[in-house]
Structure 1
Amino acid sequence: MNRKHFLSFMAMMGLTLPALKSFGNLSGAEPESGLKIPDYLKAGDTIGITCPAGFITMAEILPSIQLMESWGFKVKVGKTVDRRDFTFGGSDQERLLDLQNMLDDPELKAIMCARGGYGAVRIIDQLNFDRFIASPKWVIGFSDVTVLHCHLSRKYGIASIHSKMCNSFPADWTLADPVQIETILSIRQALSGEQLRYSAPPLSYNRAGKVEGILIGGNLSIIETLAGSKSDLKTEGKILFLEDTGEYLYRIDRMFWNLKRTGKLDQLQGLIIGGFKVKPDDPGEEFGKTVYEIVQEKVREYNYPVCFDFPVGHQRNNFALKCGVRHTFEVNSSGSSLTSLY
């Protein structure tokens, strides 16, 4: 068992080592001027749970509550849990008020979105971030929560956590596989300020290089729909990660053309391609290119490192990433690696 597996196992079992008990900035690096990094959590801090997008029941989030409490955190459940308005976790107004209350709540140190789906874009422009800016807290989630990650990055330069949410916590840890365990525990590690380091195996499609920069990104289709809005990502000098699910290859190609034509691929430090669950082509409508070929075509003229099949996305190996935090990114013949600096 390697060190990473050992620490994950010890944390799951509650037999934490001093390193797992130590909260705060563990990497020894200091955040650079201009970046806004919320305080890392310590035992006794409170995490709020809300539904800015799809609906979820209290029964479905109980495993996540129990585990986060076992980590030493308190949990405050928002009013949108157990609410439903068709596909949404309550009406737009209910979701807006619940998230607004959590943004403003001085008791909370982090806000975990209960699940993805669709809905954050319907309320993003009505949220008031004044109190949040004065006292930032970690916003946690992925998929539709990419709206929030992009908005916090573009408007305020505040870091957030791209990770699994309440609906991904296993109901029975004794039946969970190692990947499930490690990905869920990576949320705790991110919240606690541990240095995160992930790797992926080598691929012939990768492009080598070693760079340093602020990590941004998320769901490709969400990022595309935010183009030209107040939440549109600024990618210059950044390490960009992308993932998606349930899209036809021609739609993935079109979205990458959007990134290229809007200049988002021009001056990157690096590009990380995570999981892409592709919808099969309709008979007679075969696109003829793979995701690897689609991306290679769009970045051929640039020189920054590129990697594929990174462990992030709508998949079991979806590890927590600190958006808005400086990382090192390296691609070589041994594979690719991404390491947070604080």
Structure 2
Amino acid sequence: MTSSVLRFPRPLRPGDRIGVTSPSAGASGDAATRIDFSVEWLRGRGYDVVVGECMDGSGLTSAPAEQRAAELTRMLADPSIACVVPPWGGETAIDLVDLVDWDVLAAAEPTWLVGFSDLATVLVPITTRLGWATLHGDNLADTPYAVPDGLAHWLDLAGAEAPVVQRDSGLVAGWVRFEDDPHATRWAQVGEGRWEVLGGEGADADRVDVSGRLIGGCIETIANLAGTPYGDVRAWAEGLDEPTIVYVEACDEHAVNICRYLHGLRLAGWFDRAAAVLVGRTTAPDHPQMTQREAVVDALGRLDLPIVWDLEIGHVPPHLPLVNGALARVVVDGDTHEITQTLG
């Protein structure tokens, strides 16, 4: 089951209802305080926020898989809910992808599903099976952070009616620990970084100007979908009128495992129709005999595709939100480092 007929949720507006549920890990202690603050932050900006029952942070997941799948299905199919966002990621959202009621969702109007990390395990099949655009952006706990120059807040991207242009922010940031300040709204700056084009040959080896439909997520989670009915990106891409732009980012696996996962995605056809690959900034460890950069080049260098390295699209904040299914143009040329997304 795949659907290459893309459907975009209506633009998100203040006054709309946002559902909060955790398809993976819940919240407790200082983390729960942060989630409560984030809910009130959204309410303070005019959104009607409803919190589901699957939020318990005492275990690995917020509830049994059947319960999490049912609540996610209910929220996504509820016409009064315009957007669903989790508190954050987790470890095993893959246990619910075959429990979601796909027939119910196929009959519903598309709803925004927003988040990153383990939520990518759900974002990808929602896009490839239903054709719904999904938003790889901040989880709820990150939503109150101020957006640096060049980037867009996920709320603004989900509410866009015109193309959205984002540019290299130059910022490498870090989270403020919940126990230090659960009400933080400013990233902790830890350094500077710039997008870079890897490899290539010829006079234009350091330049990129490509367009395609976005799809991707956290390497450690989406790699487990490859070769299953919930991650058939090859079939989805074959039904599109445009090529794809695949984006990936590593959480915390060392470089050799990341290399394996990327080869697995390559062998499963994830890059067969790609015009480029975007790679997120990472602090995941190197292997004694392979760096994270070398892992990417080893697995993807043979594709003869431009690879744009060190984007703000993952586990190193700030976050550059991307819409799976959006038509994107990526330009890296001298001082121009930008991505434009058109929702539709």
TM-score bucket of the superposed structures, by smaller chain = 0.7 to 0.9
- Report the CA distance between 1:65 and its aligned residue: 1.3
Identity %: 23
Is the deviation greater in 330-339 or in 45-54?
330-339
The answer as to whether partners of 1:85 and 1:91 remain within 8 angstroms in 2 is: no
Partner of 2:202: none
- The answer to whether 1:56 aligns with 2:27 is yes
The answer as to whether partners of 2:254 and 2:292 remain within 8 angstroms in 1 is: no
Partner of 1:338: 339
Alignment of 1:202-213 (within 5 A): 202-203=195-196, 205=198, 207=205, 208-213=207-212
- Report the CA distance between 1:319 and its aligned residue: 2.2
- Report the CA distance between 1:205 and its aligned residue: 2.6
For the residues of structure 2 that align with 1:300 and 1:191, how far apart are their CA atoms? 33
Partner of 2:221: 222
Q: Which runs of 5+ in 1 are unaligned?
A: 1-32, 171-175
> Could you report, residue by residue, the CA deviation over 1:83-106 in whole angstroms, capped at 9, with x for unpaired residues?
246211122233223212212222
Alignment of 1:12-27 (within 5 A): none
The answer as to whether partners of 1:307 and 1:336 remain within 8 angstroms in 2 is: no
Alignment of 1:1-342 (within 5 A): 34-57=5-28, 58-81=32-55, 83-84=56-57, 86-133=59-106, 134-169=108-143, 179=148, 186-193=153-160, 195-200=163-168, 201-203=194-196, 205=198, 207=205, 208-235=207-234, 236=237, 237-281=243-287, 286-287=288-289, 289-334=290-335, 336-342=337-343
- Report the CA distance between 1:62 and its aligned residue: 1.7
For the residues of structure 2 that align with 1:202 and 1:320, how far apart are their CA atoms? 15
Distance change (3 Å), C-alpha of 1:266 and 1:96: closer
Is the deviation greater in 99-108 or in 72-81?
99-108
The answer as to whether partners of 1:306 and 1:331 remain within 8 angstroms in 2 is: no
Distance change (3 Å), C-alpha of 1:290 and 1:214: same
> Could you report, residue by residue, the CA deviation over 1:295-330 in whole angstroms, capped at 9, with x for unpaired residues?
233333444332110011012212221111111112
Q: Which runs of 5+ in 2 are unaligned?
A: 169-193, 200-204, 238-242
Partner of 1:5: none
Distance change (3 Å), C-alpha of 1:169 and 1:152: closer
The answer as to whether partners of 1:154 and 1:230 remain within 8 angstroms in 2 is: no
Aligned length: 297
Distance change (3 Å), C-alpha of 1:75 and 1:202: closer
For the residues of structure 1 that align with 2:154 and 2:195, how far apart are their CA atoms? 25
> Could you report, residue by residue, the CA deviation over 1:257-291 in whole angstroms, capped at 9, with x for unpaired residues?
2123233233311110012222254xxxx12x322
The answer as to whether partners of 1:159 and 1:325 remain within 8 angstroms in 2 is: yes
Distance change (3 Å), C-alpha of 1:244 and 1:213: same
SS at match of 2:196: coil
The answer as to whether partners of 2:281 and 2:316 remain within 8 angstroms in 1 is: yes
Distance change (3 Å), C-alpha of 1:308 and 1:103: same
SS at match of 1:122: helix
For the residues of structure 2 that align with 1:178 and 1:132, how far apart are their CA atoms? 32
Moved over 6 A (4+): none
TM-score (norm 1): 0.79
- Report the CA distance between 1:256 and its aligned residue: 1.9
The answer as to whether partners of 2:86 and 2:139 remain within 8 angstroms in 1 is: yes
SS at match of 1:217: strand
For the residues of structure 1 that align with 2:58 and 2:301, how far apart are their CA atoms? 45
Distance change (3 Å), C-alpha of 1:48 and 1:250: same
Distance change (3 Å), C-alpha of 1:238 and 1:177: closer
TM-score (norm 2): 0.79
The answer as to whether partners of 2:262 and 2:300 remain within 8 angstroms in 1 is: no
The answer as to whether partners of 1:223 and 1:233 remain within 8 angstroms in 2 is: no
Give the aligned CA root-mean-square deviation in angstroms. 2.4
SS at match of 1:328: strand
Distance change (3 Å), C-alpha of 1:128 and 1:68: same
> Could you report, residue by residue, the CA deviation over 1:233-262 in whole angstroms, capped at 9, with x for unpaired residues?
415421001001111111111112212323
For the residues of structure 2 that align with 1:146 and 1:178, how far apart are their CA atoms? 21
For the residues of structure 2 that align with 1:96 and 1:182, how far apart are their CA atoms? 36
Distance change (3 Å), C-alpha of 1:291 and 1:336: farther
For the residues of structure 2 that align with 1:34 and 1:92, how far apart are their CA atoms? 29
Distance change (3 Å), C-alpha of 1:141 and 1:202: closer
Distance change (3 Å), C-alpha of 1:334 and 1:223: same
